[in-house]
Every structure is written in structure tokens, then in C-alpha cells.
Amino acid sequence: MKVRVRVPATSANLGPGFDVSGLALTIYNEFIFELIEEGIDITGCPEQFCNEDNMTYQAFRMAAKRCGLEYTGVRIDCQGDVPYTRGLGSSSTCIVAGIVGAYAFMDRCEERKEILNLATMIEGHPDNVAPAIYGGMTVSVMEEEEVVTLSIPIKHDYRFVALIPPFTLSTEKSRSILPTEISRKDAIKNVSHLALLVASLINGFDEGLKTGFKDHLHQPYRGHLIENYFDIMAELKNDNDVLGAYLSGAGPTIMAVIRAEDKMGVVRIKERLGTLIEGWEVRKLELDMRGYTADYE
């Protein structure tokens, strides 16, 4: 028997919701798990990841222990479309898939709350893994060992234009340059912007989004690690039909939010940004509303 697990890409932070909010997107990584007689056999990813340190395997191993799965060997094939180290949650897809793969062999892959707790423990923060598990947009709070996650019902239909640079930026580096303390003024700004963002999305108040996506906790610092970041953000701010823009996760991808009816949005954004995004990939994505899926073959 094989288990096929599909996990959506995710975009975390959404501006002011650092380590708190995130949303799932319509690009996916897919993993096939098969129990074998002995050893580990990992295929489909670059050779340096085809070993015991593989993130999916490590998550599988921990989850197997947690859910009581006894196995002597496992084969994992990894395929997918989620760009690696670009701020679109590729590592979360690996962690979530590894856990779901193990739980599926015990027929427990719908235990999403338990899977969320374990995935958060492995990842260190819940903002990517929560939407990868539940789909849609989520906000999460860590209360000791428990993660409290709620889905945000978004009133309007938006599209997410991902501006994906050709260069990578590791989360480790992107976190290491952040200040350990911020001023009360900046803290108040972030709290108010996140509250405005969530309330605007629920109420369909598009006018609140540009301000709601503003951040004073990580983007002003991380922007210096990304070529043309400040110019790109300024151009997007001047586009009246771009509802808001933010750094996706730890970067370097920049996300612009437009209305579904704004059919020429991608073309307009590409033209407006011109050489600022030369060599960048531009993808128009929708919200994934399902989170991971698991099927038996």
C-alpha cells in the first residue's frame, strides 16, 4: 500500500502577523510513502536531501513514534511545484507531509489538531503549518504546548500575485538579522495593523488592506536582504488596484493582493515593475481551502 500526501504552499506573516497569520495557496508538493522491509529510500529531491536528515523523513520518524506506527523501512518520493527557500512554505510542506504520511498508515490522518501540534513543535512556529493543514487563512496562538488556530473567513475573492526572485533566502538568515526588542510605538502599530487586516478581510473592507498589511517588526529589516525590495514595495503602493503587498514568510518572495475581477492585474504589475523584477517569476495564485489531502493507492 502507498499513501499519497499533497500539501499546499503557504504564505506566512501577511505583514504584521509575524509568526501568527498565514494562508494556503494553490501550488502543491506531493509525497508518496511506502513501507518497505528495511532502510530509507528517498527519491525526487536534490541528492543532498536524499538521506536520513531529510526533513520529511525526520517528521515521519517523529510522527511514527507519536502515533504508534511500527515500521522497518520507508520509501518516500517527493515531487512538487513549491519553490524552495523562497518564503512559500516549502519546508512546512515537507514537515506536514511526513507527519500525515505516518498517521495515514494508522488511519489517523484526519487528526488535524494533533498533527498541527506536532508540526508546530518541529517547525518552531505555527504560521505556515496551520494553513498547510487547514487551508484558507489562519491565525494561531501558541499557549504552552498547545496551538490554538482559527480560520479567518475572507469575504471577498482575491488573487495573490507572487513575485518570486531567482535568488534564495534562508529563514535562518532572515530571522537572525531581526532585532530582539522593538519600541512600544512599533508594537502598537503592529497590533493595530493586524487587527485592521483581519477585520477588513472578514468584513470585505478592501480600503483597510493597504494599511492592514503594514509591518514594523520584520519587513523593514528583511527588506535590506532583498534586491529592489523597497522600490518594488513603493511601486506596488502607488498602484491603486493593488489592495496590499507584503513580504511572504521570511522572503524573498513579495506578494501583491488584487481583486479576482482585476483580470489585467498581473500584466499591469509586471509592466509597472519592469526591470525591478527582471528574471523573477510571477505567479497568480488563489487561496487553497482544503489544506493537505491524503489518499491510499
Contact 248, 162 (CB under 8 A): yes
Which member of 3, 5, 7, 12 binds ligand HSE (CB under 6 A)?
Answer: 12
- The C-alpha atoms of residue 264 and residue 233 are separated, in whole angstroms, by 19
Contacts to ligand HSE from residues 13-42, by CB under 6 A: 13, 18-19
127 touches ligand HSE (CB under 6 A): yes
> Taking CB under 6 A as the rule, does residue 175 contact ligand HSE?
yes
3-state SS string over 22-68?
A: EEEEEEEEEEEEEEECCEEEEECCCHHHCCCCCHHHHHHHHHHHHHC
Among 61, 66, 86, 125, which residue interacts with ligand HSE (rule: CB under 6 A)?
125
CB 223 within 8 A of CB 247: yes
- Is 161 in contact with 282 (CB distance < 8 Å)? yes
User: By CB under 6 A, is residue 139 in contact with ligand HSE?
Assistant: no
How near is the Cβ of 17 to ligand HSE at its closest, in Å?
Answer: 9
Which residue in the set 69, 250, 269, 294 belongs to the binding site for ligand HSE (CB under 6 A)? Answer: 250
Of 171, 190, 219, 228, the one binding ligand HSE by CB under 6 A: 171
Residue number with CB closer to ligand HSE (215 or 235): 215
Phi, psi angles (nearest 5°) of residue 260? -60, -35
- 130 sits near ligand HSE (criterion: CB under 6 A): no
Q: Toward ligand HSE, which CB reaches closer, 216 or 218? A: 218
Nearer to ligand HSE, 124 or 166 (CB): 124
Alpha-carbon span 187 to 251, nearest angstrom: 21
Instruction: Name residues contacting ligand HSE, limited to 197-226 (CB under 6 A).
Output: 218
Q: What three-state secondary structure class fits 248?
A: coil
Q: What are phi and psi of 30, to 5 degrees?
A: -130, 140
Residues that bind ligand HSE (CB under 6 A): 12-13, 18-19, 125, 127-128, 171, 174-175, 218, 249-250
